[in-house]
Amino acid sequence: MSTSDGRLASPLRDSEAAWAVAKCYTFSMSERRSRTLLWILIGGGAFFLFVLAVFTLVYLTLHAAGGEAGLGGFGDRIGVVDLDGVILSPQPVVGQLKKFGDDSSIKAIILHVNSPGGGVAASEEIYREVKRIRAEKKKKVVVSIETVGASGAFYVASACDKIYADQGSIVGSIGVIAQWVNYGDLLKWAKLKDVVIKTGEFKDTGNPSRDLTPAEQAYMQSLINNMFGQFVKAVSDGRGMKFDDVKAIADGKVWTGEQAKDMKLIDSVGDFEAAVADTAKSVGISGEPTLVHPEKERRTLMDLLLGDVSPYIPSREKMLEQQVGFYYLWK
């Protein structure tokens, strides 16, 4: 078979040409598919980031503790701060109170208490912050006592506008305590000696390896008496009672919520829901208020992976028996 120029046609040459055309077509289609896939990935990624940003914004808005922004319920919000367990530090409670106090959308604060008290200075710092918020921010702060609101926790409660407690709640224990373990006999048994070099007679007062001297006993009692006076004054001022009347009942005893009501140590027998409802009405909130809780911190990788594992880790509260100090604490 001849071509137009007289040369013989080559079947091989024709098949090569066809293969080249097919290859070019296939490459073009593949390139189009790659571009399409690339745009799909870019568009999908952008959409995913947009959705993630929206959900993050919603989450932060709903969970922001005391933030100015919020979805719904503007002006109908009540901050709730938990005072739970032994008080050995004013934080995070003081920080949470301050944040809610500074937030104009929070109309009132409820301090939800379940604590036997704790450190003298820590309790006083929380007490002062409550007083500051009431005086400077003109914001109502009330207390709802759950199971226990004793000693340092009651010290804090006395600074609030109103105190609620259940009938069977434990309330009171107005007093101060300092205690430690004396292991002097154990050292003697083990034939060990405690060596102390000090600059003054009272520098190692409370040394657990020996008994207190009479002078040290009197010194410690004077400190406790001074702290006790501060406690009694705080309660008398906060509850509108005479100093001597409070001092007469300040023997470390606790009472039920029902008994405390008759003694004017609390204002109303009621649970947390009653405290919320009454507080909402008192600040002009109609309907169900939005309760705002501080965002819980997750400080460790273990917390992020497994949740809050703090109940299973020895804390300062759990090791209280090993510490020497002064406490507004019911034990």
- CA-derived radius of gyration, the chain: 35
Is 286 one of the catalytic residues?
no
Task: Determine which one of 115, 144, 151, 169 is catalytic.
Answer: 151
Residues 137/193, Cβ–Cβ less than 8 Å = no
Task: Determine which one of 23, 188, 198, 203 is catalytic.
Answer: 203
- Cβ partners under 8 Å of residue 281, min gap 6: none
Is 188 one of the catalytic residues?
no
Structure token pair of residue 87: 């008080």
Cα separation, 319 vs 16, whole angstroms: 87
Q: Is the peptide bond before 116 cis (omega within 30 degrees of 0)?
A: no
Residues 292/65, Cβ–Cβ less than 8 Å = yes
Enzyme catalytic residues: 151, 203
